[in-house]
């Protein structure tokens, strides 16, 4: 794996608020999927080794050593296993390096879509973990773009949609403008968690006043 690959991973982590470990596990899963698709089958147990000192990735095929093979996808005979490792015994697990010569290029092409999909899933999970305990709070946001009646804003590096019904009718929205929004709920949908935010919710004013006037927050007023 070349240094620039890990640099790209670090950049993704920074942009998406995802841990490096999470992204690397995503990449490993994607590469394993790509290998099964191009060289093996779904039954195989694959382990991907990523190392900064390697050109790309090492693919290991994991099999159980048995006296008599019933499923060649996950088992290897004791006789064959002993050719690779003399002291191996039945019941042991053996890892076989099956990395194709052109795996770097082929795997990158095959795994690209899977990696993007997994990263989106990881980003959604990161969004949920970040905001699940922050409902009924005021959040700072910046407008990224305005399309039709929808305003696309960014909250702590996450892109969120401010729908028409949650916008103030007399307020002008434009790219770069910084605004405060009220986080009503973190909603689970078929596409993952989404933030229900508003500029019109009654509690927006209450929370803003609490931020400005400590006596209100403490219940003295």
156-195: per-residue pLDDT in tens?
A: 888 889 989 899 988 999 999 999 999 998 887 777 778 8
How far is 167 from 199, CA to CA, in rounded Å?
Answer: 5
Nearest to 155 by CA among 129, 179, 123, 187: 179
How many CB atoms are located within 10 Å of the residue 165 CB?
Answer: 8
Q: Which of 70-74, 123-127, 196-200 has the lowest mean pLDDT?
A: 123-127
Which CATH architecture fits 133-217?
Beta Barrel (2.40)
d(CA 62, CA 46): 6
Report how far residue 122's alpha carbon sits from residue 200's, in angstroms, rounded to the nearest whole number: 31
Mean pLDDT of the chain: 82
Report domain extents, the chain. 3-130, 133-217
Share of the chain above pLDDT 70, in %: 83
Phi, psi of 209 (to 5 degrees): -65, -40
| The pLDDT value given to residue 216 | 46
Number of Cα atoms under 13 Å in the Cβ half of residue 156: 15
Structure letter (DSSP) for residue 162: E
* Average pLDDT rounded to a whole number, residues 41-57: 82
The side-by-side arrangement of strands in the sheet containing 178-189 is: 158-162, 150-155, 137-147, 178-189, 192-198
Whole-angstrom Cα distance, residue 2 to residue 7?
A: 9
| Residue 82 tokens, joined | 């002993």
Q: For residue range 54-101, what is the model confidence (pLDDT) as tens digits?
A: 667 789 999 999 999 999 999 999 999 999 998 999 999 999 999 887
pLDDT at residue 217, rounded to an integer = 45
Can you tell me which residue has the tokens 């790509």?
34
> Quick one: 3-130 is in which CATH superfamily?
NusA, N-terminal domain (3.30.1480.10)
pLDDT at residue 47 greater than cutoff 50: yes
pLDDT of 120 reads 75
The whole-model pTM stands at 0.55
Q: Pairing mode, if any, of strands 75-77 and 57-66? A: parallel
| Rounded distance between C-alpha atoms, residue 75 and residue 81, angstroms | 10
């Amino acid at each position: 794996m070349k240094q620039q690959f890990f640099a790209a991973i670090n950049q993704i982590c920074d942009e998406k608020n995802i841990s490096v470990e999470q992204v690397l596990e995503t990449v490993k899963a994607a590469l394993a999927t790509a290998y099964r698709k191009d060289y093996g089958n779904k039954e195989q147990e694959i382990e991907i080794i990523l190392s900064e000192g390697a050109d790309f990735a090492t693919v290991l095929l994991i099999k159980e050593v048995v006296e008599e093979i019933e499923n060649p996808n996950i088992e290897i005979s004791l006789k064959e296993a002993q050719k690779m490792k003399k002291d191996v015994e039945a019941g042991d697990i053996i890892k076989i390096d099956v990395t194709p010569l052109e795996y770097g290029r082929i795997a990158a092409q095959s795994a690209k879509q899977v990696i993007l999909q997994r990263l989106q899933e990881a980003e959604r999970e990161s969004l949920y973990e970040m905001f699940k305990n922050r409902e009924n709070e005021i959040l700072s946001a910046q407008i990224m773009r305005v399309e039709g009646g929808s305003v696309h804003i960014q909250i702590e590096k996450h892109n969120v949609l401010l729908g028409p019904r949650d916008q103030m009718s007399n307020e002008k929205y434009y790219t770069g403008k910084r605004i405060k929004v009220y986080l009503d709920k973190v909603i689970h949908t078929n596409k993952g968690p989404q933030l229900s935010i508003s500029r019109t919710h009654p509690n927006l004013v209450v929370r803003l006043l609490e931020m400005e006037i400590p006596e209100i927050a403490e219940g003295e007023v």
